[in-house]
Amino acid sequence: MAGKTISEKIFSEKSGTDARAGDMVVARVDLAFAQDGTGPLAVRQIGKLGFERVANPSSTVFFFDHAAPSPRQELSDDHIFMRDFSSKTGAVVSEVGEGVCHQLVAEERAAPGMLIVGADSHTCTAGAFGAFATGMGSTDVAVAMATGKTWFRVPESYRVVLRGRFQKGVCSKDLILHLIGDIGADGADYKALEFSGDMEALDMESRLTVSNMAVEAGAKAGLFPSDDITRKYLEEWGRGNAFREIKPDPDAEYERTLEYDLSAIEPTVSKPHRVDNTALAKDLSDVKLNQVVIGTCTNGRLSDLRVAAEILRGKKVAPGVRLIVVPASRRIYLRAMEEGLLRAFVEAGGLILPPGCGPCVGVHQGVLGSGEVVLSTQNRNFEGRMGNPKGFIYLSSPATAAASALTGRITDPREVMR
């Protein structure tokens, strides 16, 4: 019998079976969460199920990030609805201003070996810890909240072997955009991506960006084995005792193996209206921009803001460009403030939004005008994503976004980096 992938190991442990790819299992869930766009429906489904409690209140969380602060009375009422449910059941509310669910899960909750379900497609972010974390709908998450478990099909895995080091000006966002462009938006549909190789090339924040976008290749999860980098990150957030080692068996079976030489990756951009519609930043210098967004659950972490601030400090954003910066969490906001990063953005002509999803979901805080073009560090560029189907969304790394804010057109960051 072959060894097991990370997915098979976690599902074996959580289902109490010898779980193999393709099996259907019912598994115990360690964390179930929803956000303010999916939470109200989850609460109503728990009611329909006839439950007045949740299985594990302290591991049941409602994050207010998509409409934060709320731009409309309907959404304010949704917030009240979830607050009421939480106060009745003991579930946790993460209030307006705390930050994006995926970043808060990384800071406060995710750990190697956990099984995490979230009613948000980018729940796969926590795969960076070696947790099996996957996005589901409100009903699935409602069932997990109420009963502490749900059903899964154990996925087949693709092994993604990474070799070498990034060039200056290139980061993990370029890698994951390149990978999605390579295999396509459904290239890993229903599969788990499992990363291996020169893992030291990616710090935890870089890994979180990669795992965040696994779903953009159709994957169910994007998993990193846990190592010293994972351990140190947990220690930094005061959760060192949550560390455990999780890695695949040497003879685990993979449906497919992909290999990438990190030193060959160049600044990469996704063009409208598909994430897999990729090109090199240097080939898009004729694309003029109205708005640049740096932040979100994909790239709103401290290292992202540092790279962007370094490029923007002491300079001015091009005339006609709105620069919007969205720290992913309150803690990141504070650290960015202490390090002077926010000052660099504001002095360059940018504006700082409260921690949360910002304009990414088209709800508020930077909805595109018709015909307008945005370059954003977010993860998705579908028609209508940012509130207007007549807008054009390009995706890039924080370095490319910052460099492009200076020139007013899509710019390879290596052109402006010292």
Partner 1 sequence: MKMRGRAWKFGDSISTDHIAPGRYFHLRSNLPELAKHVLEDARQDFAPNVKPGDFVVAGWNFGLGSSREHAPTIIKLAGVSAVLARSFARIFFRNSINIGLPVIAVDTSFINEGDELELDLSEGTVKDLTNGKEARFRPLSPQLLRILEDGGLIEHIKKHGDIVL
Cα–Cα nearest to 324, from 342, 301, 338? 342
How far is Cα 89 from Cα 218, in angstroms, rounded to an integer?
34
Q: Is there a contact between 286 and 409 (Cβ–Cβ < 8 Å)?
A: yes
* Nearer to partner 1 (CB atom), residue 340 or residue 384: 384
CB atoms within 10 A of CB 270: 25
Per CB under 8 A, residues contacting partner 1 are 24-26, 37-38, 40-41, 45, 48-50, 66-67, 72, 74-75, 77-78, 81, 118-121, 123, 135-140, 142-143, 147, 149-151, 185-186, 189-190, 215, 218, 220, 274, 361-363, 367, 380, 382-389
* Nearer to partner 1 (CB atom), residue 327 or residue 362: 362
* Nearer to partner 1 (CB atom), residue 25 or residue 348: 25
The least distance separating partner 1 from the CB of residue 380, rounded to whole angstroms, comes to 6
The least distance separating partner 1 from the CB of residue 62, rounded to whole angstroms, comes to 14
* Nearer to partner 1 (CB atom), residue 189 or residue 245: 189
Cα–Cα nearest to 238, from 331, 375, 138? 331
Q: Which amino acid is at 302?
A: L
DSSP one-letter code for 53: S
* Nearer to partner 1 (CB atom), residue 52 or residue 77: 77
Length of the chain: 418
* Nearer to partner 1 (CB atom), residue 331 or residue 364: 364
* Nearer to partner 1 (CB atom), residue 44 or residue 313: 44
The least distance separating partner 1 from the CB of residue 292, rounded to whole angstroms, comes to 19
Q: Which residues are within 8 A (CB) of 216 and not within 5 positions of it... i.e. 6 or more apart? A: 176, 180, 185, 275, 276, 379, 380
The least distance separating partner 1 from the CB of residue 252, rounded to whole angstroms, comes to 21
* Nearer to partner 1 (CB atom), residue 8 or residue 140: 140
* Nearer to partner 1 (CB atom), residue 120 or residue 205: 120
The least distance separating partner 1 from the CB of residue 37, rounded to whole angstroms, comes to 6
In which residue are the tokens 């956990």 written?
114
Burial code (b: 16+ CB inside 10 Å, e: under 16) for 275-301 equals: bbbbbebbebeebebbbbbbbbbbbbb
How far is Cα 218 from Cα 188, in angstroms, rounded to an integer?
5
User: 166 φ, ψ to 5°?
Assistant: -70, 150
How far is Cα 294 from Cα 315, in angstroms, rounded to an integer?
16
3-state secondary structure of 293: strand
CA neighbours closer than 13 Å in the CB half-sphere of residue 342: 15
* Nearer to partner 1 (CB atom), residue 20 or residue 247: 20
Q: Is there a contact between 171 and 203 (Cβ–Cβ < 8 Å)?
A: no
Q: Which residues are within 8 A (CB) of 27 and not within 5 positions of it... i.e. 6 or more apart? A: 11, 14, 15, 115, 149, 150, 151, 152
How far is Cα 163 from Cα 197, in angstroms, rounded to an integer?
6
How far is Cα 267 from Cα 77, in angstroms, rounded to an integer?
42
Cα–Cα nearest to 266, from 416, 417, 412? 412
